[in-house]
Structure 1
Amino acid sequence: MSLILSAMLEAATVIGAGAAVPVAVPQEAVAVEGYEAQLQRGRALATSGDPAQREQALALYTAMLARSPDNSDVLLARGRTYSWMRRYPEAEADLKAVVERKPGYADGWSALGDMYLWSDRPADAVAAYTHWVELMPNDPAATMARGRAYRAANDVAAARADFAAAGVRGADATELERLLASLSPPIAVPDALVSGGYRWSLRAGLDHTGFNGSRSNWRDADVSLRRRFDGGSLALEWVQAHRFDRTTSGWALDGYAKLWSRAYANARYQHGPDGGILPRDAWRVELFQGVGHGWELSASIDHLRFSSNTEFYGIGIGRYVGNWYARYKLQHVPGVGSGSWSHRALVRNYYRGDADDYVEFSASTGRSTDLDRTGGLVRNNNAAFGVAWSHYFRPQWGFKIGAGYADDADGINEQRLWFSLYHRW
C-alpha cells in the first residue's frame, strides 16, 4: 500500500517548463494509509527543505482537509508549510483559523507568532507569543520566542526581561547567553560587523559644506554596498568629491574581519585618478581589542598618496557603560620637527538599547583625515564639533543625519550637513 501512495504522491507534482506545478492528491490516495501515517509523511516532505517536496506536502494536506475540514492538526501543518515557503497570506489564513477554532492550542499560537516574526510583523508576533506564554507559562521556549519578537520590535527592555525569565525556567544557557549578548550595543562599528539577520546592506549619502568668505561650497556623495559574512563584512564603495570647483570620483573596498577573542580589524583601500582632489591611493588598517570590563583599545595607520605621501598613526581608547560609548583617539603625522598631532573625542548613546538607534556627539582639534566621509582629504582645524542621529524607522530602512561646525586652521569657518539612507536585506 505504501508503494501505491508513493506513486500517487509522485503524480501530485507535474514538471513542466523547469518548474514544479502542484496538483491535488486524489482522495483514493489519501485513503490508502491511515491518518497518522499520512501526517508523518506530510511532515517529512514539508521539513525536507526541498520546494518540490513541500508542494507535495501541501497537496497531501489539502486532500486530507477535504476529507476532514475541521482537523486543526492538519490545518496547522499546512499553515507551517506555507510559512516555511514564505507564502505568508496563505499561512496566516490557516493559522488564524486554527487559533480561532481552538484558542487553547499552544502550538497554533507558536506557529502564528513564527509566521509574523518571519514576515517582519514583530508587534503581531509579540501578541501571538503572549497567548503561547499564557497557555504554557513554565515553558522557556515560549518566553524566549516572545523575547525575540520584542527584540525585533526594538523593545530591548522587554526582550531582556523575557530572556531572563526564560533562564529561570530552564532555558539552554548557551543560547540564552547568545540572545542576551545580541541586545548589547556592538563594539565601535555596528553597521559593519553585526548582521542582525541581514546579509546585505546599501548606504547612499550626501554631504554639504559651506564656508564664510569667498570659498565655494563643497558637495560630497558616496554609495556603499556591503556583504556580511560569518567572520566579518566587505563593502564596495563609490565616492565623489566636488571641491574648489572641481569634481573627482573614486572607488574603495572596505572590509571588517573578526580576529581572536574580542578583537577585529578594519582594512580599507581607495583609488582615485591622478591629479584629482581625492588621493590617487589611500589605505587604512585599524585594529581593535577589547580588554577588561567594557574597555577597548585601538591602533591605526592611514596612508594617503597625492603628489607626495602623507601618513597618520593613531591610538585610541574606548569605554562602554550601559548604553553609552565614549572614545578618544590621538593621531600623529610625522613631519618637520616633531610633526603634528590631532585629538578626537566621541560620545554615543544607544538610546533604545540596540545597535541601530543612537545619538552621537563629537569634537576634535588638529590635523586629521578621519573627519572626511570620502576617505581621503586632510582636515586641519583649530576646533570642530558635530552631532548626528542614527535611526531605523523600519527593520530594513534607516537613516543618519548630522551637522557640524569647524574653525579651520587657515581662518575659514565651515558648516556641514550630511545625510545617509540605509537599506538592508
Structure 2
Amino acid sequence: MKCTQVSRAGRQRGRRITRPLPACLLLALLASPALVLAQEAAPDALTVQLQQIRGMATGGQRAQAIERYNALLLEHPGNGDVLLARGRAYAWDGQYAAAESDMQAVLSKSPDYADAWSALGDMYRWSERPQQAAEAYSRWVALAPQDPSAHLARGRAWRDAGQLADARADFDAAAALGADAAEVSALRESLLPRMANPDVAAPEGYRWSASAGWDHTGFSGDRESWNDADLSLRRHFKRGSLALEMLRADHFGESDIAWALDGYVPLWSRAYANLRYQHGPSDGMLPRQAWRAEVFQGIGSGWELSASVDNLRFSDNTEFYGIGIGHYTGNWYGRYKIQHVPGVGSGSWSHRLLLRNYYSGDGDNYLEVSVGNGRSTDMDRFGTVVRDNNAAIGVAWKYYFAPNWGFKLGAGYADDDGGYDEQRVSLALYTRW
C-alpha cells in the first residue's frame, strides 16, 4: 500500500510530492486481517458497561445498578439489551411488576429473543406464577430446543405447578441433551410427593419399603411409662402404595397388638387420599376397630387442603373430623390442622401446627417441629391413639445415611390433660428395595 500527500504548493506547481505519514501507516495497519479480527472481537463500550453493572447487581448493589441502567437508557433509548438487563435487576430485587414491564417491552420488539423469554420465565417463577413461567420457558424451548437449560427451567416450573408428568418429561429431555447427571437426578427426586406423611413415599425404582419403630413415653409422678412399637411392610405401585402394619402397645403393664392396612391412592389432578383400617383387641388400650379417610387437594402454587374423618371404636364409637391447610415453598412445608369431636355442648377441639424443612432438597431427609393442644388422634402414633393435651411440642430428624437405609429420631413434651407431664422419645429404622 502506498501512502501519498499532495501539498498545496505542489498542486500549484503541478508537482506531486509523495511522503509517508503516521496516519497513513495507521490505516495500513488497521487494514491487516489479524487486527480487523481483534477489533471485531473487542467488546464495545456499551457491552463493557453492561458487564460492570451486572456485576454490581449480582453483588447486592441492585439499587445502584438500576440507577446506572436508567442512565444508560437515556443515552440509548429503547435498547433491548439494556432494558433486559434492567428487567433482570428488577426481578432480583423483587420488583416484579417493573421487571415484567421491561421484559415485555423487549419481547414486543424482538419476539425471537431467547434470553428474554428465559428471563421472563425466571421472573414468573420467582413471583410464584409457575403456569406463566412454564409458558415463557416453552417459548425459550421452541427457540433453543437443543439447550438442556431450557428444558430444566421449564421442568422446574411444571413441578411448581403440580404437573409432575410434564416436569419429568422435561428433565428426561435435558438428560438426553447432556445436562449434568447429578442435577437431573436431584430434580427427578424432587418430583417425589412431599406428603403430609412423607415416610410413605419412596423414590422411583423402589417397589418395597419397611420400617420398625419404638416409642417410649415417661410421665411425671408415679404413673408407669408406656412403650409402643410398630412394624410396617409397604408395597409401592406406580400409583399409590399399600402397607401391612403390626402395632404393639405396652401400657400399665399390659400389652395389646393390632393389625392395620394403610393405603395411599391418587385421585384426580393434584389430589390423593389416605385410607386406613385397623383391627385390635376386643378390650384394651388400642381400639377394637378404627378407620380413617383423608383427602388432600393441591391448589394454587404450593397450597394443599385436606379433610378427614377418623372413627375409633372402644366401648362406643368416637369420631374426629378434621380440616387442614398446608403450603410447600422451596424446601419448606408447613401445615395447620384443626379437629373436632362432637359431644356434649360444642364438643371438643384440637389444633396442630407442623413445620418441616427438607434440608437436602429431596423427600427423604428432613427436620420438623410440631406444636398443638386439645383432644385429637395423634398422627405420629399409629393415627389411632387419642391424645388429650393442654399443650404439646415435638421435634424429629429423619436421615438416610445410605440409598436404602435411614432412621428417624424424635423427642417431645406434653402437658397431659390428666395432670401429668409427658416426656417422649422415639426411634425408627427404614429400609427399601
TM-score tier by shorter-chain length is 0.5 to 0.7
For 2:378 and 2:257, how far apart are their aligned partners in 1? 19
Distance 1:348 1:277, change over 3 A: same
* 2:422 corresponds to: 414
Distance 1:164 1:343, change over 3 A: same
The alignment status of 1:359 with 2:367, answered yes or no, reads yes
Aligned match for 2:240, one of 232, 243, 247: 232
Given that 2:248 and 2:257 are in contact with CA atoms closer than 8 Å, whether structure 1 keeps it comes out as yes
Aligned match for 2:335, one of 321, 327, 330: 327
Aligned match for 2:390, one of 382, 388, 392: 382
The alignment status of 1:269 with 2:277, answered yes or no, reads yes
SS in 2 for 1:374: coil
Given that 1:404 and 1:417 are in contact with CA atoms closer than 8 Å, whether structure 2 keeps it comes out as yes
* 1:210 corresponds to: 218
**1:375 Cα deviation (Å)?**
3.4
* 2:254 corresponds to: 246
Given that 2:189 and 2:203 are in contact with CA atoms closer than 8 Å, whether structure 1 keeps it comes out as no
**1:308 Cα deviation (Å)?**
0.7
Given that 1:202 and 1:226 are in contact with CA atoms closer than 8 Å, whether structure 2 keeps it comes out as yes
Aligned match for 1:368, one of 350, 355, 376: 376
Distance 1:229 1:338, change over 3 A: same
The alignment status of 1:278 with 2:292, answered yes or no, reads no
SS in 1 for 2:199: helix
For 2:265 and 2:184, how far apart are their aligned partners in 1? 22
Aligned match for 1:183, one of 190, 203, 220: 190
Any stretches of 5+ residues in structure 2 without a counterpart? 1-145, 153-166
Paired AA for residue 295 in structure 2: L
The alignment status of 1:306 with 2:320, answered yes or no, reads no
* 2:84 corresponds to: none
User: In percent, how many aligned pairs have the same letter?
Assistant: 62
Q: Which stretch shifts more, 189-198 or 207-216?
A: 189-198
Encode CA deviations 1:321-374: one digit per residue, 9 max, x unaligned. Answer: 110000000000000000000000000000010000000000010001124513
Paired AA for residue 330 in structure 1: I
**1:187 Cα deviation (Å)?**
2.8
Distance 1:382 1:168, change over 3 A: same
Distance 1:332 1:289, change over 3 A: same
For 2:428 and 2:382, how far apart are their aligned partners in 1? 13
**1:186 Cα deviation (Å)?**
2.5
For 2:426 and 2:253, how far apart are their aligned partners in 1? 19
For 2:405 and 2:187, how far apart are their aligned partners in 1? 24
Paired AA for residue 361 in structure 1: V
Distance 1:249 1:236, change over 3 A: same
For 1:372 and 1:324, how far apart are their aligned partners in 2? 19
SS in 1 for 2:213: strand
CA RMSD across the alignment = 2.9
**1:388 Cα deviation (Å)?**
0.2
* 1:423 corresponds to: 431
Given that 2:398 and 2:406 are in contact with CA atoms closer than 8 Å, whether structure 1 keeps it comes out as yes
SS in 2 for 1:191: helix
For 1:259 and 1:165, how far apart are their aligned partners in 2? 25
* 1:255 corresponds to: 263
Encode CA deviations 1:155-197: one digit per residue, 9 max, x unaligned. Answer: xxxxx9xx9897499579xxx9998453256232333244432
For 1:300 and 1:324, how far apart are their aligned partners in 2? 23
Distance 1:317 1:140, change over 3 A: closer
SS in 2 for 1:375: coil
Paired AA for residue 350 in structure 1: Y
Paired AA for residue 360 in structure 1: E
Encode CA deviations 1:107-156: one digit per residue, 9 max, x unaligned. Answer: xxxxxxxxxxxxxxxxxxxxxxxxxxxxxxx9969x99xxxxxxxxxxxx
Aligned match for 1:294, one of 288, 302, 307: 302
Given that 2:260 and 2:276 are in contact with CA atoms closer than 8 Å, whether structure 1 keeps it comes out as yes
SS in 2 for 1:353: coil
- How many correspondences in the alignment? 267
* 2:109 corresponds to: none
SS in 1 for 2:248: strand
The residue correspondences of 1:4-153 to structure 2 (distance < 5 A) are: none
Encode CA deviations 1:192-229: one digit per residue, 9 max, x unaligned. Answer: 24443200001000000000011101000000000000
SS in 1 for 2:200: helix
Encode CA deviations 1:2-31: one digit per residue, 9 max, x unaligned. Answer: xxxxxxxxxxxxxxxxxxxxxxxxxxxxxx
Aligned match for 1:315, one of 320, 323, 326: 323
Any stretches of 5+ residues in structure 1 without a counterpart? 1-137, 145-159
* 1:105 corresponds to: none
Report the TM-score when normalising by structure 2. 0.58
SS in 2 for 1:296: strand
For 1:235 and 1:168, how far apart are their aligned partners in 2? 34
For 1:222 and 1:169, how far apart are their aligned partners in 2? 43
For 1:307 and 1:379, how far apart are their aligned partners in 2? 17
Given that 1:366 and 1:381 are in contact with CA atoms closer than 8 Å, whether structure 2 keeps it comes out as yes
Paired AA for residue 360 in structure 2: R
For 1:277 and 1:266, how far apart are their aligned partners in 2? 24
**1:245 Cα deviation (Å)?**
1.7
Report the TM-score when normalising by structure 1. 0.59
